Structure 1
Amino acid sequence: MMTSLLTRRAARDSIEPPPRRSSARTLRIALMYAVGLAFLFPFYVAVVYAFKSPEETTRDPLGLPPAWRLDNFVAATKIPYFFTNILNSVIVTVSVVTVTVLICSMAGYIVTRRKSKVYSVIYYLFLLSILVPFQTIMFPLYVQLRSLGLINSLLGIIIVQIGVQVGYFAFLYAGFIKTIPVELEEAARLDGASRFTIFFRIVFPLLRPINLTVIVLAALGSWNDFLAPLMLLQKEDTRTLPLVQFYFFGQYSQQVNLAFAAAIVSMIPILILYFVLQRYIVSGMSAGAVKG
């Protein structure tokens, strides 16, 4: 009888968590919701302002708009060079993503598979470049690009964005490639395959998770980049979408509602890309952490 009572009590305790543990779990969930709402609040403000008129914004800054009108979006698309700026952003982002994936995957492969001091030094240079803030190299970079005639040039901003990101992404690729068995490459080498054939026919298809991760992160970094285009793209017809905000803020007037409408238009493509591929970001970044 006593044994049966103890067994039932142990089963009940295993099913019902202690009150202290339950309270801690509730606190964690509440904290997660609070942090989530804090991150979502700027998006709420952007959407609300984009659909309001200036008078409605003044009357009730954070309330929902009385009517969901598209007037601000129509007016925002009529600013000079708006669609040219969109095209510039597309060209820059696609170029940066394509070149970054090719260069960083090959760099990560070679520094991982070649066991020599030279490639070890290159690997640590990649790590060192991650620690260098872009602000510390802005002025010498501007002087160098001006001497090369790359100011107000999409080629210049593409080179800069690739150079800023290449160290970090090469580091991610190197960590992921360490998880790929070397035996696959050795078997192909015995069959007479060259190093380029081994990489593009065997290794590169296996990099799909990290490739998708790099595509999302590089696209986000390039599309949303403001500081580098601000420094290098001074002509209106060469600007990218983040710089469109300059059109709405003058010395004597501020078109806040139009600015938020233009910002939402510019966010739509990159948000679609992020939500389609976001499940690969964490998996791709953590896959290389399994082995040393």
Structure 2
Amino acid sequence: MTTVTAPGGGRALVDQPIRRKKLHRTNWWLTALVAVLSLTILVPLYFTIVTAFKIPTELAESGFALPSRWTLKNFQTAWTLTSFPKRMMTSAIVTVGAVVLTLLSNSFVSYAISRNMHRKWVKALYFYFIAAMFVPFPIIMLPVVKDTALLGIDNEAGLILLYVVFGLSFNMMLYTSYLKSMPEEIEESASIDGAGRWTVFWKIVFPLLAPMNATVGILTCVWAWNDFLLPLVILTDPGTQTLPLAQYVFQGQFNTNYTVAFASYLLAMAPMLIVYIFSQKWVISGVMRGSSK
């Protein structure tokens, strides 16, 4: 209650809301955990950056200290030794091809399975695909290498195809969980108007999958760009090496040129870092929608 002056000169009591400050308690255990986990990323990143600008002798003397003289010579050497423009173009072709085919094929397969989950054999097929996530790649590595060689797809095209197939299990889990939240009445009304199944998917369902398409596309992009093992065992022509394979040139039999190698790692990481900075909101929103709905 507070006292105010009335129009006639008297005083009156009126109600006034009392503002109370909300007490925000800090969860120190959670804060400490986040700080420790952030150090596991920040410390290696800091060491990589300072090492890339040092000379080998300075690295041996002071590992974590800042370089006394910042130099770009390591980046120039890495650019030349790895044939960076050519290898980056190969990695870009493989990555873009894997992303495009993954979005087109995995989304359609997931849509067909999610809309027929009431059938027993389709549900069994769904769990069959999901079970592939629990099969380690080293177990099937030798048969895959032999089959790709026999079929003549031990090249960039075969590598793109393998990324699409191996990513189907995880991508299907994301797509089907998201498709369950979409009302089927929209598709039924389009079918009544005369639209076929293909038209319904490509003109109605696929545009509505935009958040999940962004999530799957970015995850596939990062995987295909940074992968080392699959290109190592599949690609037989040295001229078709991807960027991670080209960076293996810094690993010698008795020593490793760490300063040039770390400079090369930063060059390879830059494109993906730029992609993630501009698209992280779609990754987070797509994953959250798919998990909550």
For the criterion TM > 0.5, the same-fold answer is yes
Equivalent residue number for residue 136 of structure 1 = 139
Taking structure 2 as the reference length, the TM-score comes to 0.88
Tell me by how many angstroms 1:122 deviates. Answer: 2.0
Uncovered stretches (5+) of structure 2, i.e. residues with no partner: 1-18
Alignment of 1:253-268 (within 5 A): 253-268=255-270
**CA distance in structure 1 between the partners assigned to 2:272 and 2:45 by the alignment:** 14
Residue in structure 2 matching 1:230, options 229, 232, 236: 232
Equivalent residue number for residue 8 of structure 2 = none
Q: Which stretch has the larger CA shift, 273-282 or 174-183?
A: 273-282
Equivalences, count? 274
Equivalent residue number for residue 158 of structure 2 = 156
Q: Please say if residues 82 and 247 of structure 2, whose CA atoms lie closer than 8 Å, have aligned partners that are also in contact.
A: no
Alignment of 1:12-91 (within 5 A): 15-16=22-23, 22=26, 25-79=27-81, 81-91=83-93
Tell me by how many angstroms 1:285 deviates. Answer: 1.9
CA RMSD of aligned residues (A): 1.8
Q: Please say if residues 212 and 290 of structure 2, whose CA atoms lie closer than 8 Å, have aligned partners that are also in contact.
A: no
Residue in structure 2 matching 1:239, options 238, 241, 244: 241
Tell me by how many angstroms 1:192 deviates. Answer: 0.2
Equivalent residue number for residue 122 of structure 1 = 125
Q: Please say if residues 81 and 236 of structure 1, whose CA atoms lie closer than 8 Å, have aligned partners that are also in contact.
A: no
Tell me by how many angstroms 1:65 deviates. Answer: 1.1
Residue in structure 2 matching 1:205, options 203, 207, 218: 207
**CA distance in structure 1 between the partners assigned to 2:255 and 2:289 by the alignment:** 50
CA deviations 1:74-126 (Å, max 9, x no partner) are 11111153322111100000000000011111011111112322321221122
> Could you say what secondary structure the match of 1:288 adopts?
helix
CA deviations 1:216-267 (Å, max 9, x no partner) are 1000111111111111224331111111222112224421111111111000
Residue in structure 2 matching 1:145, options 145, 148, 155: 148
Q: Please say if residues 175 and 289 of structure 1, whose CA atoms lie closer than 8 Å, have aligned partners that are also in contact.
A: yes
- Residues 289 and 249 of structure 1: CA distance in aligned 2, closer, same or farther (over 3 Å): closer
Equivalent residue number for residue 168 of structure 1 = 170
Equivalent residue number for residue 249 of structure 1 = 251
- Residues 165 and 218 of structure 1: CA distance in aligned 2, closer, same or farther (over 3 Å): same
Tell me by how many angstroms 1:15 deviates. Answer: 4.2
> Could you say what secondary structure the match of 2:153 adopts?
coil
Structure 1 consecutive aligned stretches of length 4 or more whose deviation exceeds 3 Å = 14-17
**CA distance in structure 1 between the partners assigned to 2:61 and 2:182 by the alignment:** 60
The one-letter code of the counterpart of 1:274 is Y
CA deviations 1:109-151 (Å, max 9, x no partner) are 1111123223212211221111111111101111111111223
Taking structure 1 as the reference length, the TM-score comes to 0.89
The one-letter code of the counterpart of 1:270 is M
Aligned-pair identity (%): 37
Q: Please say if residues 142 and 232 of structure 1, whose CA atoms lie closer than 8 Å, have aligned partners that are also in contact.
A: yes
CA deviations 1:138-180 (Å, max 9, x no partner) are 01111111111223x1112112222111111012111101111
**CA distance in structure 2 between the partners assigned to 1:228 and 1:33 by the alignment:** 34
Instruction: Decide which structure has the larger Cα Rg and report it.
Output: 2
Equivalent residue number for residue 178 of structure 1 = 180
CA deviations 1:163-204 (Å, max 9, x no partner) are 111111012111101111101001100100011111111111
> Could you say what secondary structure the match of 1:63 adopts?
coil
More helix by share: 1
Uncovered stretches (5+) of structure 1, i.e. residues with no partner: 1-10
The one-letter code of the counterpart of 1:213 is T
